[in-house]
Amino acid sequence: MREDSSHGSGKARLLTFGVLLLVAAVAAAVLSWAASSRPAGNTLRYEAAKTALQILAVVVIGGFATLATFTYQSTRTQEMQRLARQEERRHRLEDLAADKRDRQDDALRTLLQDTLVSYNATKKLRRKLRAVIEERFTIEAYDKYMFELIDRQLEFEQFARLCPLIDDNRLQNPLIGEPTHLLDPRPECESLEYSYRKIERYLNRIIREYEKSRAKVASTPAGIPISNLSKLSAFLGSRFPRVASRHMDKIVVILHTAVLQPPHLTPEPPTVRRERPRQPRPDTPVVSSG
C-alpha cells in the first residue's frame, strides 16, 4: 500500500510538471515569435508577447509552488508512515512484553506453589517423627522416614537449580519494602538460589547422618532412640525453624512480591538496616515453622 501511494504520487508529480513545461514551451515560442520583429504597442504581436511573459511568470511561480506542495506532502506522508511504523512496532513490543510477563508469572507461581507443597510435606514428615520421638527407631521406620526426607531434599535441590534459569529482573532485588529482618547485608544472600541451597543443605546433613548411621540401626533389631541421631533430633527440635523456616519466609516474600510487582518497574537497591523483627504485611503469605 505504501509503495502504491508513493508510485501514484510520483506519477501525479511528473504529470503536473509535464503540463507546466508544455505551457512554458508554448509561451516561450509565442514570446519568441512576437519579439522577433520588435512590435509596437497596441499591436497583436505586442499583446501576444505581453501575454506570453505573464504566462511564463505564472508557470515559474506555479512550478515553485507545486514543487513546495509536493515536497511538503511527501515529507508529511513519510512522517506519517514513520509514525505508523513506530506505533506498529510499539504494539508488537507491548504484545511480546505482555506474553513474556505472562510466562514469567506462570513460572513464578508454579515455583511458589511447588515450593509450598514440598515445604509442607517436610513439615508433615517432621510432625510424624515428633509423634514417635519417644519410641525406638527400627531400621524399617528409619528407612521409611528417610526415604521421604530424601525426596524433599531432592525437590529443594531441583528448585535451587531451576531458579537461576528464570529470566525475570523482578528477582534481582525483590525485597524492597519488606520486613527488614528478612534482609541479609550480603548481596548474594538475597537470591532465591541461596535460600533454596540453605534448606537443601540442611536436609542433606540429616541424610548424610542416615547414610552413616543406617548400618548401626540395622544391627540393633530392637532399634535405637531417636535422641542417638543428633541431626535428626535437631530437625525435630528448634533447629529446623531457625534455619529452614526463615529461608522459606524469604522465598515466599521474594516470589510473592515479584508476581505482584507492576510491569516495567525497576526496583532501586534498598538501604539495608538491622531492625527488630516485625510482623509480615497482611497481604503476604505467612509460612509457619511447623
Please report the pLDDT score of residue 189 as a whole number: 47
Choice between 242 and 127, residue whose per-residue pLDDT is larger: 127
Choice between 220 and 269, residue whose per-residue pLDDT is larger: 220
Dihedral pair phi/psi, residue 77, rounded to 5°:
-65, -45
Q: Give ∠ CA 66-68-74 in degrees, rounded to 5.
A: 100
Hey, is 171 helix, strand or coil? helix
Please report the pLDDT score of residue 30 as a whole number: 66
Choice between 26 and 267, residue whose per-residue pLDDT is larger: 26
Q: Which tens digit of pLDDT belongs to each residue from 144-194?
A: 999 999 999 999 999 999 888 887 877 765 544 444 444 454 444 457 889
The candidate with the shortest Cα–Cα distance to 259, out of 165, 156, 174, is 174
Please report the pLDDT score of residue 56 as a whole number: 72
User: pLDDT grade, residue 60 (50/70/90)?
Assistant: confident
User: For the chain, what percentages of helix, strand and coil (3-state, to nearest 5) are there?
Assistant: 75, 0, 25
Choice between 233 and 31, residue whose per-residue pLDDT is larger: 233
User: pLDDT grade, residue 131 (50/70/90)?
Assistant: confident
For the chain, the structural domain boundaries read 2-93, 98-260
Whether 202 shows a pLDDT value over 90: the answer reads yes
Cα-based distances in Å from 81 to 8, 76, 95: 16, 9, 21
User: pLDDT grade, residue 71 (50/70/90)?
Assistant: confident
Whether 273 shows a pLDDT value over 50: the answer reads no
For the segment 242-261, the average pLDDT, to the nearest whole number, is 86
For the segment 14-40, the average pLDDT, to the nearest whole number, is 68
* Whole-angstrom distance, CA of residue 8 vs CA of residue 13: 9
**In sequence order, what are the residues at sequence separation of 6 or more whose Cβ sits closer than 8 angstroms to the Cβ of residue 142?**
210, 214, 217
For the segment 124-138, the average pLDDT, to the nearest whole number, is 85
Q: Are 238 and 139 in contact (CB under 8 A)?
A: no
The model's pTM is: 0.60
Choice between 34 and 129, residue whose per-residue pLDDT is larger: 129
For the segment 246-275, the average pLDDT, to the nearest whole number, is 69
Choice between 51 and 213, residue whose per-residue pLDDT is larger: 213
Please report the pLDDT score of residue 198 as a whole number: 92
Choice between 179 and 81, residue whose per-residue pLDDT is larger: 81
Residue indicated by cell numbers 535405637: 224
Please report the pLDDT score of residue 179 as a whole number: 46
Please report the pLDDT score of residue 58 as a whole number: 77
